[in-house]
Amino acid sequence: MSKQKVLLDKSIDLLLSSDTKTGAVNLSENNSSFEVNFNPSFGLPKDAVNPRLSVEAASVWFVNPNVSSSNNQLIITKAGVPQTITIPTGLYSLSDLSLTCMRLTSSLGFNTNGIPAFEFSPCSGTNKVELIINALDVEVEFTNASPTELLGFNVQKIGVPSYLYQIFLGDNEAQINNINSFHLHSSLVESGISVGSTLSQCIANIPITSQAGGLIHYDPLHSPKINCDNLIGAKLSTIRCWLTSEANQAISMRNETFDFRVKIQYQQPYEF
């Protein structure tokens, strides 16, 4: 009697984390990239057929700063005396940023009777930011080192106001959210999901679904099934995983970790 051959469904689950307590090594300075070592080496059988990889779940802290050393300064002039305020690195909402500037100007003695020298307020109808100057002797200067893109103001000096509480509307739409989603990448795949015309080993697009500083729980109903033929017969001793913005730009996880669960499905011939 001749033997018959069938294809058996097989799968492998991997839980990968940037936490060094679970074996992550070679973390990048911004904690957005890590490696995992395998001993014994990792790969699929040489006769594996049609392997596909999917990201079943992920947890990512939304802490990537929108204010950093490249855009953290404003020059405030009161009564002809200029002072530079430096905004601490962080992920700010507009109200958080306005409150931080209030505290900084208060420490300089620029606020009067508890009234801040200036403040920022949203103009929801235009998606722009309003700069409200609350004193007749105050000017606010935006330079190349200011959060101009974030707030939608061009490089310029604004003020002295013509009247108290004068409102100056931003020149452009504000971009408080400097990223809209995270892209998860891994050397487990050779090409990954095509992002436009670019292949960068992307294995998941993780939408931002939490407030600033919150934990994003990614639990898709239908995960893309990504070709991973490169794992057939492979003997990988190390894999690398990393996060970027949706524009494939480096991000900072600061001191937080991220993790994700991968399922690799394939078929293997069986004779009986």
**At 51, which CATH number?**
2.60.120
Q: Reduced to 3 states, what is the DSSP secondary structure of residue 239?
A: strand
Residue 106 is inside which H or E element, if any?
helix 94-107
pLDDT in tens, 260-270: 999 999 999 99
* Judgement on whether residues 58 and 90 belong to the same structural domain of the protein: no
* Judgement on whether residues 119 and 195 belong to the same structural domain of the protein: no
Q: Counting beta carbons within 10 angstroms of the beta carbon of residue 98, is it exposed (0 to 12), middle (13 to 18) or buried (19 or more)?
A: buried
* Judgement on whether residues 53 and 186 belong to the same structural domain of the protein: yes
Where a domain ends, among 146, 169, 192? Answer: 169
Which residue bears the tokens 């209030």? 102
What pTM did the predictor assign?
Answer: 0.88
- In this prediction, residue 1 carries a pLDDT of 59
227 is a domain residue: yes
125 is a domain residue: yes
CA gap 55, 102 in Å, rounded:
43
What radius of gyration do the chain's Cα atoms show?
Answer: 26
* Judgement on whether residues 123 and 247 belong to the same structural domain of the protein: no
Give the end-to-end CA distance of the chain in Å, rounded to a whole number.
10
* Judgement on whether residues 163 and 80 belong to the same structural domain of the protein: yes
Show the domain range for 207.
5-64+179-271
pLDDT in tens, 37-70: 999 999 999 999 999 999 999 999 999 999 999 9
174 is a domain residue: no
236 is a domain residue: yes
Contact 120, 98 (CB under 8 A): yes
Residue 210, CA distances (Å) to 60, 68, 201, 216 in order: 10, 21, 25, 6
